[in-house]
Amino acid sequence: MDYTVLLLAIPFLMFLLLGLVGQKLGPKMAGILGTAGLSVVTVLAYYVAYSYFLNKGLTLNGVLESAVNGDGSWKALTSFNFTWLDLSNANRPDLRIEIGMLFDPISVMMLVVITTVSLMVHIYSIGYMHGEEGFERYYSILSLFSFAMLGLVVATNIFQMYIFWELVGVSSFLLIGFYYKKPSAVKAAKKAFIVTRFADMFFLVGILILSYYTKTFSFEQINGDHAALVHTTMGGLTFMGCSVTAIALTLIFLGGAGKSAMFPFQIWLPDAMEGPTPSSALIHAATMVVAGVYLVARLFPVYFFEATSVLTFIAYVGAFTSLFAALIACTQTDIKRVLAFSTISQIAYMMVALGVSGYASAHEAGLGFTASMWHLFTHAMFKALLFMCAGAIIHAVHSNEMDDMGNMRKYLPITHWTFLIACFAIAGIPPFSGFFSKDEILTAAFESNMIIYVCQAFVAGLTAFYMFRLYFRIFWYNEPTFHHTPHEAPKSMTIPLIVLAAFTCVGGFIPFSEFITAESIGYEIEMNTTIATISVVVALIGIAIATFMYKKQNEWPDKVTAIFKNFYVWAYHRFYIDEVYLFITNKIIFGIICTFIAWFDRHIIDGFMNLLAWTTNLVSDETKEVQSGSVQQYAWVFIMGVVTIVALALYL
């Protein structure tokens, strides 16, 4: 245990402190305390990242440990790892849940992402949430979230990950339901929790299967040596014709898919926008939703060496989801929903990248992995930025609907420029960060699977289109009648915007492939100019169409809508997936199964017990004539009793 534990301890203590005595501290104190706490954590995280990546050594427990192995690959370091719960038994003597901190390239990278975005959100929220009821509660939950998310990424074993996985789930639930008086928020929170919980169940079963055979939870042992442990313990095992490893890993992926809102679990994320916008930025855009990607990345060696088919499956799921979400994003009018679908689409990109990735660093085989993580990083920055901008806009007009906005560039200049930067980044226009990461993804896809490449390239165009649709609708277009003149957000809100915009601008120039690779060995990326050109062109086409349609109010949007009428309606209604879910849960599970079971319980099971009692009473009542009061009848019964018994005794 050393200073690294503070990374987890500070947010946790902050959560307890603000949660228990936040009311007494008052909102101002709570905001400052929360932000200060997180600043410390951020500094620590940067220090760790700095020592790990640049100094190639991390001082843990007073000893300077090298972050590089002899062969030049990155080394995973553990600062502490204690037994939290012993689950051993005769069969699996070493099975235990440990809590520890693991530092390797992806976890350190995630530390940076999380703390950065979280700090920005903390600062931003001081302005955004100003005067809100439950301000202290908000900060306390933010701290809880930061704690959980940091715990998740530094997890040394899959069960620790699951523990924090659940914790981020609950903090997400609490934040979505922050405006608990609003029925829609409560509903959205419930939906988010239950859908992810449903996926978590698969995750859990996956863990159980995996750990049953490997007899351990530890990532180091599971992943180590090209997942040799999985190979020796599970290789060749089949269940109903499928490889057990594949089943386990598919289940684990489904868990990740739930958190990362992959199809068909995507339904919760758009609704999750009911939460305060900064928390959406943090949780539902930048960090928590990428946990699924992180999970797959964490177990990447297992996926790659033991279940390639699952990886392909992931790629297809990702590709489909990205296309699907992008299509929907084109039709939405609630700006946060557009961003939400965009998030789904972008995360799906990362999934695709993992799915098409190879392993070795040589010949850029593991490019997809690097690209995925890179996109994770850049996406976190620009998506958080987008959300915060959206927050600033909502803050200004008190509405989420595009129709209430327009021509806002003159009222909100900072927001406007930062938003534009983010739009360029997500659209993949150089030199903004999104260009680089997305380009690598497309390259990886191109080299592995043509169908997926085409699909992703098309999605890239769509992305550019809907983002600029959003941009023009908000900042250009016709000016609606505002209730009051919109004004720029306070400093506490604009500074984070600027910081993130800066990250977005420079993020593409980080030599990511030196640090983060599937094999942990750094390499140089050479840009594939053909693909880069194609993607830029596609993006520009998208932007052009958007400019044409939405810069000024004109009849083209309606015309286009009319052409794709049915399709538009379907997309607008998110392809009715929510309705299908609602039908299954409300009508079938609640309406039929639960009601039936409850009825069955009351009327059959309990009814049977009551019937017993009722019968007893009935028999009692019916037999009262036996006791007729007539002494002669008594004698009759007496003598008949004797006769019967004699008969029984003699003949039986």
What are residue 524's phi and psi, to 5 degrees? -100, 140
Q: Minimum CB separation from other proteins for residue 82, in Å?
A: 9
* Short-list 349, 336, 364, CA closest to 428: 349
Q: What letter represents residue 155's amino acid?
A: A
- Min dist. Cβ of residue 210 to other proteins (A): 10
Show the DSSP H helices in 235-330 as ranges: 244-259, 268-271, 277-281, 291-298, 300-306, 308-329
Quote the least distance from Cβ 90 to other proteins, whole Å. Answer: 5
Q: Coil, helix or strand for 333?
A: coil
- Quick one: tokens of 231? 């190979």
Nearer to other proteins, 553 or 610 (CB): 610
Q: Which is nearer to other proteins, 90 or 563 (CB)?
A: 90
Q: State which residue, 569 or 645, has the beta carbon closest to other proteins.
A: 645
Q: How far is the CB of 614 from other proteins (least distance, A)?
A: 12
The nearest distance, CB 624 to other proteins, in angstroms, is 5
* Count of CB atoms situated within 10 Å of the CB of 81: 16
First to last CA, the chain: 82
Rounded to a whole number of angstroms, the minimum distance from the CB of residue 579 to other proteins is 19
Cβ nearer to other proteins, comparing 211 with 243: 211
Rounded to whole angstroms, how far apart are CA atoms 126 and 142? 12
Q: Residue 310's CB: how many other CB atoms inside 10 A? A: 24
Minimum separation from the CB atom of position 509 to other proteins (A):
39
Q: Residue 492: exposed, middle, or buried by beta-carbon count in 10 A (0-12, 13-18, 19+)? A: middle
Nearer to other proteins, 556 or 634 (CB): 634
Query: 61 vs 627, which CB is nearer to other proteins?
Result: 627
Q: Which of 125, 120, 80 is nearest to 99 (CA)?
A: 80
- Nearest by Cα to 145 from 116, 165, 125, 124: 165
| Residue number, 362 or 646, with CB nearest to other proteins | 646
Tell me how far, at minimum, the Cβ of 284 lies from other proteins, in Å: 18
For other proteins, the closer of residues 210 and 459 by Cβ is 210
Q: d(Cα 317, Cα 352) in Å, to the nearest integer?
A: 8
Exposed e or buried b per residue across 551-577, where buried means at least 16 C-beta atoms within 10 angstroms of its C-beta: eeeeeeeeeeeeeeeeebeebeebeeb
Strand partners, 100: 81
Q: Positive or negative, the Cα torsion across 570, 572, 577, 582?
A: negative
* Nearest alpha-carbon partner for 313 in 269, 368, 250, 375: 250
Q: Which is nearer to other proteins, 69 or 644 (CB)?
A: 644
Q: How far is the CB of 581 from other proteins (least distance, A)?
A: 13
